[in-house]
Structure 1
Amino acid sequence: MPRPTTPALVAALALGTVLSAGCTTTPGPTPTSSPSAASATPTPGEPLLTDDITEDSAVGTLAPGFPTDLVPVPPDAEILVSSAEPVTDGVLRISLNVRTGQDTAALLDAVRAPLVGAGFAEAPPAVPEPGLAAQTTFARSDGAELVVVGILDRDGLRTMTLGGTVGAPAP
């Protein structure tokens, strides 16, 4: 199984954090009849981002098969988006985005304890990526299982983005 690189996962997680933190339903300006406005309008049948939710993903709740024994939802956290996609026999690609008023240390501890208890080794960077309040990586099985965590602190709330690959729980 190919092993994702930490920078690639961090970039994907940062993008997910930005997307989940910046989504709004504010309507845009009314389209005009100019040719450039017409070409920017989706055509019927053209997929939109919100149409791409699969059975392995969920908005506002946990996706079916999400390994909560390994990665529990931190107390008092609002689930924004989650996924648990089987990628090969016995392996899941997971992601979890939550928002909470918990402080950064408590939020990180809530996911650290079960991962370390399950045999994952933590490897935090010397300095988190710019803009993140905390960032760390957990690995086991010689790196075949990898979970990257990033926490964004904005306006008194923390948004945690977690993603990676883990062994699927036994049925």
Structure 2
Amino acid sequence: MVVLAACTGTTAPDASPTTTAGATPTPSASESLLTDQIGGHTAVGRLADAFPADLVPVPEGAEVLVSSAAPAADGAVEISLNLRTEQDTGGLLEAVRAPLVAAGFTESAPAVPEAGLAAQAAFARSDGAELLVVGILDRDGTRTMTLGGTVRTTAP
């Protein structure tokens, strides 16, 4: 007779208890953390279909890694943009800042700067109902920028 003590949580009188504490599953070589399934509002290597490129244009020479634009409440759009460029940090931040400020956003520095980032900024409009946060990482002469938040596609 075979008793599966580890599965039932009980042991047979003559069996030694089996423990699995500390055991960590190891993924097999066929498992992947990546998926071919991309959300309906997400695009890899390009801007998502409803991405407001007039409000947040891709800086010249930048490579879009991934972007998204998902409808939110009150006609707003939740957006994210990740890109890579060799443009300098100041120029990259200015390429994002200029169209946002022209559209009525105000810029503020983060209350607590995140360690390791070359630049950070937040842009708000509509009494904070629209908010974008930007972070730029500088590694080995290449900048990676992440931008995310909620905007309306039409000015208030």
Q: Which runs of 5+ in 2 are unaligned?
A: 1-22
Residue 58 in structure 1 maps to residue 43 in structure 2: yes
Distance 2:75 2:88 in 1: 34
Equivalent in 113, 125, 128 of residue 98 of structure 2: 113
Aligned-pair CA distance for 1:97: 0.4
What does residue 55 of structure 2 align with? 70
2:131 counterpart (132, 142, 146): 146
Matched, 1:80 2:65: yes
The one-letter amino acid of 2:75's match is G
Structure 1 position 49, deviation (Å): 4.6
More helix by share: 1
User: Which of the pair has more CA radius of gyration?
Assistant: 2
Indicate whether 1:100 and 2:85 are aligned.
yes
SS in 2 for 1:139: strand
Does the CA contact (< 8 Å) of 1:58 and 1:82 recur in 2? yes
Cα distance, 1:124 vs. partner? 1.3
AA aligned opposite 2:55: L
Deviation at 1:127, TM superposition (A): 6.6
Tell me the TM-score normalised to structure 1 length.
0.70
Q: Deviations over 1:6-55 (max 9, x none)?
A: xxxxxxxxxxxxxxxxxxxxxxxxxxxxxx68x4448xxx9955245211
Aligned length: 132
Q: What percentage of residue pairs aligned between the two structures are identical?
A: 68
How many angstroms apart in 1 are the aligned matches of 2:36 and 2:120? 30
Amino acid at match of 2:88: D
Runs of 4+ more than 6 Å apart: none
> Which residue of structure 2 lines up, in the alignment, with residue 122 of structure 1?
107
CA distance in 2, matches of 1:159, 1:76: 13
Secondary structure at the residue paired with 1:94? strand
Contact 1:84 1:93 survives alignment (8 Å): yes
Find the counterpart in structure 1 of residue 150 from structure 2.
Answer: 165
Matched residue type, 1:70:
L
Structure 1 gaps of 5+ residues are: 1-35
Q: Are the aligned partners of 1:59 and 1:82 in contact in 2 as well (CA < 8 Å)?
A: yes
Please tell me the root mean square deviation across aligned C-alpha atoms, in Å. Answer: 2.4
**CA deviation profile, 1:96-129 (whole Å, cap 9, x unmatched):** 0000000000000000000000000000137731
Identify which of structures 1 and 2 has the higher relative contact order when contacts are C-alpha pairs closer than 8 Å and 6+ apart. 1
